[in-house]
């Protein structure tokens, strides 16, 4: 079965899946996206992802030419057409073709495309042994500039921090907000464990309201683990008993070193492992 891309209502080959050089998504990063995982052919939290896509579009006054129900059906059809059971789905809505210049009103019709593929964010051994990260000098976008809750196509803020991580010989970086508190990583939410309690930055810290983040918070509550959404500093990360990251692509991955400081025992801790195992069980069952 050949790969297929959903483009404006049609399933086409990757070679046919093209957008114009005059699309404002390409010219100005004007658009929104979602990343969704499927496990065993079932899309994880599809309704929540579609709702967030429409919320992001509404946040930048971008009209999506589908209803949420039609979008969900298109995502499902694209997954089935590619014959993949465990996959990553990228849904993108662009402002559409327009003239040169920022004015979005010069774009007649928005465009939608859906890609299905496999994704491996981190090598398998890092899920077993833990990840090393740094804190980036690049500050997270101010919420009153580009609100991080909008999954826009302008990811340069995250990319600059990612470059810092790569230059430091790591794969991920923690980003601080304009107040100096921990926000999130370049593509993942952050959790720490201290005295058997789970802490994570609040939405007001300028973070994406991650769907995997919400799932971990719900799982922790069911397992009787106290969860607090509080502002965290770099010092809080350094002295944590455990630390881990969550995201659609990353799922749940432990952090064992931050800025050359060893976290806890230097290995994925028991609370992190318990939450990761339960998340894995629920998504694969």
The pLDDT value given to residue 132: 98
The pLDDT value given to residue 183: 98
Tokens 């890092």 -> residue:
126
d(CA 153, CA 87): 21
d(CA 107, CA 90): 23
By annotation, the residues acting in catalysis are: 151
Tokens 């496990």 -> residue:
39
The pLDDT value given to residue 1: 59
Query: Is the model's pLDDT at 192 over the cut of 90?
Result: yes
Query: Is the model's pLDDT at 274 over the cut of 90?
Result: yes
**Dihedral angle sign, alpha carbons of residues 238, 128, 227, 35:** positive
For the record, the structure tokens of 95 come out as 């402002």
Tokens 């609370």 -> residue:
271
DSSP 189-234: EEEEEETTEEEE--GGGT----HHHHHHHHHHHHTT--EEE----H
Query: Is the model's pLDDT at 44 over the cut of 90?
Result: yes
> Counting every residue, how long is the chain?
285
Greater confidence (123 vs 64) lies with: 64
Contact 276/269 with Cβ under 8 angstroms? no
For the record, the structure tokens of 215 come out as 């799932």
pLDDT more than 70, % of the chain: 100
pLDDT, averaged across the chain: 96
Tens-digit pLDDT profile for residues 87-104? 999 999 999 999 999 999
Average pLDDT over residues 128-134: 97
- Quick one: which of 26, 53, 33 has its CA closest to 107? 26
pLDDT more than 90, % of the chain: 96
87-94/182-185 β-pairing: unpaired
CA distances from residue 88 to 126, 144, 235, 274 in whole angstroms, order as listed = 20, 31, 35, 24
> What domains, with CATH codes, occur in the chain?
5-117 (3.30.470.10), 124-284 (3.20.10.10)
Identify the three-state secondary structure at position 77: helix
Query: Is the model's pLDDT at 4 over the cut of 90?
Result: yes
For the record, the structure tokens of 26 come out as 């390409």
The pLDDT value given to residue 120: 83
Tens-digit pLDDT profile for residues 198-233? 999 999 999 999 999 999 999 999 999 999 999 999
| Dmax (CA) of the chain | 57
Identify the three-state secondary structure at position 150: coil
Residues 6+ apart with CB under 8 A from 110: 31, 62, 63, 64, 65, 93, 94, 95, 96
d(CA 231, CA 244): 16
The pLDDT value given to residue 285: 75
CA-angle at 53, arms to 47 and 57, nearest 5°: 145
């Amino acid at each position: 079965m050949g790969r297929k891309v959903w483009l404006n209502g049609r399933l086409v080959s990757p070679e046919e899946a093209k957008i114009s050089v005059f699309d404002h998504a390409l010219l100005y990063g004007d658009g929104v996206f979602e990343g969704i995982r499927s496990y065993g052919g079932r899309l994880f939290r599809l309704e929540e992802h579609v709702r967030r896509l429409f919320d992001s579009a509404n946040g930048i006054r971008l009209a999506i030419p589908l209803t949420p129900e039609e979008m969900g059906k298109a995502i499902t059809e694209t997954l089935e057409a590619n014959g993949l059971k465990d996959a990553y789905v990228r849904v993108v809505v662009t402002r559409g073709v327009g003239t040169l210049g920022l004015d979005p009103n010069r774009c007649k019709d928005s465009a939608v495309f859906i890609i299905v593929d496999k994704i491996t964010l981190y090598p398998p051994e890092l899920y077993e042994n833990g990840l090393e990260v740094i804190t980036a000098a690049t500050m997270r976008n101010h919420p009153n500039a580009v609100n991080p809750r909008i999954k826009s196509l302008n990811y340069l803020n995250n990319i600059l921090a990612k470059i810092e991580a790569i230059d430091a010989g790591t794969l991920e970086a923690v980003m601080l907000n304009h107040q100096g508190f921990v926000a999130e990583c370049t593509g993942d939410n952050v959790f720490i464990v201290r005295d058997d309690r789970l802490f994570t930055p609040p939405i007001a810290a300028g973070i994406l309201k991650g769907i995997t983040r919400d799932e971990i918070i719900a799982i922790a509550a069911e397992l009787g683990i106290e969860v607090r959404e509080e502002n965290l500093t770099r010092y809080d990360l350094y002295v944590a008993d455990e630390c881990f990251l969550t995201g659609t692509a990353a799922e749940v991955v432990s952090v064992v070193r931050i800025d050359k400081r060893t976290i806890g025992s230097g290995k994925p801790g028991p609370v992190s492992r318990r939450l990761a195992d339960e998340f894995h069980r629920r998504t694969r069952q």
